[in-house]
């Protein structure tokens, strides 16, 4: 299976209306920081969490199929492989072809099946990279993170 490329990342970030699938209800959670950063950078982030009706003042949807108007891309913050597989099926059903599967350093789950399913449908898939690093004008810590990835050869090409 091929790694995500800078082209895949660029294609994802060109989408301005992005579903945040699995965004947390807890204000201090990483996913909420990411949602707020996308909003600050001019994106239209759409929270998706079946246990919330509103997150950060934005309407929250239970499922991708419920979102109106539809999104152009989905950022999966689901963690566990089973939840990620379910989210990928929803992306496929909603014809979302730009997908980013975020994996935290604590996420040891293998998302290969989900990624392969996306690629078979012709979707551009990014897995494992922190979106903060690739947004316009990232903060210092994210620039350092990207630099270190380049040094060790794990930065996407």
Look at residue 109 and tell me whether its pLDDT is greater than 80. no
Look at residue 1 in the predicted model and tell me its pLDDT.
Answer: 47
Question: Coil, strand or helix: which one is 47?
Answer: strand
Residue 108 binned pLDDT confidence (cut-offs 50, 70, 90): low
Q: What is the largest CA-CA distance in the chain?
A: 43
Strand 58-59 and strand 73-76: pairing? unpaired
Bridge partners (DSSP) of residue 75 are: 20, 100
**157 vs 49, residue with greater confidence:** 49
What is the pLDDT averaged over residues 99-108? Answer: 70
Q: How far is CA 115 from the centre of its chain?
A: 13
Look at residue 94 and tell me whether its pLDDT is greater than 50. yes
**All structural domains of the chain:** 6-152 (3.40.50.720)
Residues 97 and 117: their CA atoms lie apart, in Å, by 11
Look at residue 39 and tell me whether its pLDDT is greater than 90. yes
Look at residue 123 in the predicted model and tell me its pLDDT.
Answer: 87
What is the pLDDT averaged over residues 72-93? Answer: 89
Q: Peptide bond preceding 69: is omega within 30 degrees of 0, i.e. cis?
A: yes
Cβ atoms of residues 132 and 34 within 8 Å: yes
Q: Indicate the average pLDDT of the chain.
A: 89
Residue 57 binned pLDDT confidence (cut-offs 50, 70, 90): very high
**139 vs 128, residue with greater confidence:** 139
Handedness of CA 13, 25, 139, 142 (dihedral sign): negative
Helix or strand holding residue 55 (H, E)? strand 54-55
Helix or strand holding residue 124 (H, E)? strand 124-127
Look at residue 83 in the predicted model and tell me its pLDDT.
Answer: 86
23 CB burial (10 A radius; 0-12, 13-18, 19+) = buried
Look at residue 145 and tell me whether its pLDDT is greater than 50. yes
106 CB burial (10 A radius; 0-12, 13-18, 19+) = exposed
Look at residue 125 and tell me whether its pLDDT is greater than 90. no
Cβ atoms of residues 99 and 123 within 8 Å: yes
Of 79-88, 109-118, 139-148, which has the strongest mean pLDDT?
Answer: 139-148
What is the pLDDT averaged over residues 22-42? Answer: 96
């Amino acid at each position: 299976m091929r790694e995500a490329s800078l082209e895949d990342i660029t294609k994802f970030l060109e989408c301005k209306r992005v579903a945040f699938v699995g965004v947390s209800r807890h204000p201090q959670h990483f996913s909420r920081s990411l949602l707020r950063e996308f909003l600050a950078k001019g994106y239209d982030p759409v929270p998706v969490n079946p246990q919330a009706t509103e997150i950060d003042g934005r309407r929250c949807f239970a499922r991708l199929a419920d979102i109106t108007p539809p999104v152009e891309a989905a950022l999966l913050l689901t963690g566990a492989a089973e939840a990620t597989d379910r989210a990928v099926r929803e992306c496929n059903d909603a014809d979302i072809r730009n997908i980013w599967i975020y994996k935290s350093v604590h996420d040891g789950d293998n998302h290969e099946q989900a990624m392969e399913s996306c690629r078979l449908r012709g979707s551009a898939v990014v897995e494992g990279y922190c979106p903060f690093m690739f947004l316009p004008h990232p903060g210092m810590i994210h620039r350092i993170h990207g630099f270190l990835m380049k040094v060790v050869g794990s930065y996407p090409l």
